[in-house]
Amino acid sequence: MKSCPFATSIDPYLQNELSGKEAERFEAHTFDCPSCYREMSERHLLLEALREGGSALFSRPVRTAPAWIRAAAAAALVLLVAAGIALLSPRPHRPSEFAFTGDETVRGAALEIVGPAGPVGAAPERLEWHPLARAAEYEVTLSEAGKTIWTVSTAATEAGLPADVRTKLRPGVDYVWRVRAFAALGSFIAVSDPAAFRIAR
Amino acid sequence: MDSNHLARDLDALAARYRPIVGFKVRRALGGANPDWEDVTNEVLAQVIAKLRAGEFRGESSIGTFIYTITCRRIVDYIRDKTKVLRHAPEPAPLPDPAERAERKDRLARLTEALARLKPKYRDVLHLYYVRDLSREETARALGLTVAQVSERANYGCKILRRILGPSFFSISGRPGRLNNGMGKAGPR
């Protein structure tokens, strides 16, 4: 059976994403369309139950992007660098636009990186970031061409690069790193923007 | 048409539209507002009165006619209520024990259903509906496109609905947070 063309408006309507006029048009339509009304009322009940249960309904923390997607994103970033886009010039790190704390979404909170970023004279000894309220643990990943070459978890706001990792870092290669923050119960609360550094030849 | 026949037709019409009018009223007034049932009844009474008075001339659909009356009554209610609220806000009624038990049971069923859902759907439902991120923010957090977020949200809900079964969506007449006063019936 072909579904009503208005069916695609159900979610945006319930999520308050429609403009006033669009919402009115959709509401008026539901007074005449039993299919859309039934779908909308059931979806509404489901969403109300999901919101009432909150994060407790989801027994484990939200995952970030799968490894291969993060790898692809990092690889794309490296390509951009190779194409001459000014990644190597020091730039302020734009904070992420959201972070999660408990059951609330706190827009504007951010996990900001201190450094290293951009060109560096030698293999850095440590990676550093600003502390985030409520973060109990940070997970740092360092990647080369989209492949994770080192990761560590720490409660501190810096992570020392082990000697064996530092010796593997080669001049002229872009290394991308990012930090994720977790609350005491292990829930993911924020992620930094990726930062890249390159050791001068 | 004799008067008995007309009365039966109007009653049937009111029964048919009660859920959808109730949905619109509750959404406009807020789920915890106990007045939604009274406002819904008033809308339906107005609809019947106007139909009896011959005010519906078929220039629009009957749905649009009822929708217009519903919106006007909601505006009137909010205007009147605003005047009252300036002096003394009314406390929301406390949920009764049976309602709490029903709510607990429904949440347990929902938890079980979510556990059966693939992580790719659960993650989208969690961020988009529970954490209330926008589609764009959800897409960025999960490394997806906005279209994928929409698809997964929609499909995830459909799978949940299938797992939960129709009984999850057919609720008794008690008003409450999980009960929006809408049975399964809608406009036909």
Task: Delimit the domains of chain A by residue range.
Answer: 5-57, 67-199
pLDDT value, residue B69: 94
Quick: pLDDT tens for B70-89.
999 999 988 887 766 555 55
- How far is it, in rounded angstroms, from Cα A165 to Cα A123? 9
ipTM of the complex: 0.78
Q: At what angle do helices B146-164 and A34-53 cross, to 10 degrees?
A: 90
Strand partners, A118: A197
> Which has the closest alpha carbon to B95: B38, B41, B34, B39?
B34
Whether B172 has its CB under 8 Å from any CB of chain A: the answer is: no
pLDDT value, residue A2: 61
Q: Which domains does chain B have, with CATH numbers?
A: 3-85 (1.10.1740), 97-169 (1.10.10.10)
Peptide bond into A116 cis (omega under 30): yes
Q: Which of B 88-147 lie inside 8 A of A, CB atoms?
A: 103, 106-107, 110-111, 114-115, 119, 122-123, 125-135, 137, 140-144
A23 vs B contacts (CB less than 8 Å) = none
Q: At what angle do helices A34-53 and B3-29 cross, to 10 degrees?
A: 40
Q: What is the mean pLDDT of each run of 10 residues along chain A (201 residues)?
A: 82 89 93 92 91 78 58 70 57 47 49 85 90 83 86 89 91 88 74 84 79
- How far is it, in rounded angstroms, from Cα A157 to Cα A139? 10
The residue type at A5? P
- For residue B107, give the chain A residue with the closest CA: A53
Cβ atoms within 10 Å, residue B183: 17
Tens digit of each residue's pLDDT, chain B (188 residues): 566 777 788 888 889 999 999 999 998 888 778 888 999 999 999 999 999 888 888 888 999 999 999 999 999 988 887 766 555 555 555 667 777 788 888 888 999 899 898 989 999 999 999 888 888 888 988 889 999 999 999 999 999 999 999 888 875 433 333 334 333 334 44
CATH fold for domain A67-199: Immunoglobulin-like (2.60.40)
A45 vs B contacts (CB less than 8 Å) = 168-169, 171, 178, 180, 182
Look at B67 and A31 and tell me if their CB atoms are within 8 Å.
Answer: yes
The residue type at A8? T
Length of chain B as a residue count:
188
Strand order in the sheet with A158-160: A113-115, A126-129, A158-160
Give the phi and the psi of residue A37 in degrees, each rounded to 5: -65, -45
Look at A63 and B119 and tell me if their CB atoms are within 8 Å.
Answer: yes
Cβ contacts of A79-84, under 8 Å, gap ≥ 24: A81/A174, A81/A196, A81/A198
- How far is it, in rounded angstroms, from Cα B144 to Cα B124? 10
Query: How many contacts, defined by CB atoms under 8 Å, are there between A and B?
Result: 136
- Classified as helix, coil or strand, A193 is coil
B150 vs A contacts (CB less than 8 Å) = 11
Q: Which of A 99-158 lie inside 8 A of B, CB atoms?
A: 100, 103, 105
CATH fold for domain A5-57: Arc Repressor Mutant, subunit A (1.10.10)
Whether B177 has its CB under 8 Å from any CB of chain A: the answer is: yes
Query: Rounded to a whole number, what is the distance in Å from the CA of B120 to chain A's nearest CA?
Result: 9
- Classified as helix, coil or strand, A142 is strand
A66 vs B contacts (CB less than 8 Å) = 143
